[in-house]
Amino acid sequence: MSQVKGKVLAGKVLVKPQAAETKTASGIIIPDSAKEKPLLGEVILVGAEKKDEKMEVSVGDVVLYGKYAGTELNIEGKDYLLISQTDVLFIK
């Protein structure tokens, strides 16, 4: 797990997206131009609970999130995604 200095605000989650698949199940190599944006990632930082919303995710969880969710960030040379907890669809 990566260590990022800083904190996120209430109700927000910082996610490290997993790398996009490079091969299909049948072994066909996918070119960079055809790769889908990854929808799965590991939670790196979690903000505090909101007054009316309990924080359900925790650091280290692997989550599935919406395709157009969040804001892409580059922190210390690494790519992350800052999303709202409400954009999390599934916790593995």
CATH number of the domain that residue 83 is part of? 2.30.33.40
Assign 3 a pLDDT band (cuts: 50, 70, 90).
Answer: confident
Contacts of 25 (CB under 8 A, 6+ apart): none
* Cα four-point dihedral sign 33, 39, 45, 50: positive
Taking Cα atoms as reference points, which of 81, 80, 8, 83 lies closest to residue 47? Answer: 8
In a domain, 7, yes or no: no
Number of domains in the chain: 1
pTM: 0.79
Q: What confidence score (pLDDT) does residue 27 get?
A: 77
Residue 61, pLDDT score: 94
Whether residue 63 lies inside any domain: the answer is yes
For residue 61, the enclosing domain spans 12-19+35-91
Residue-level pLDDT at 7: 86
Residue 40 placed within a domain: yes
- Cα separation, 6 vs 12, whole angstroms: 13
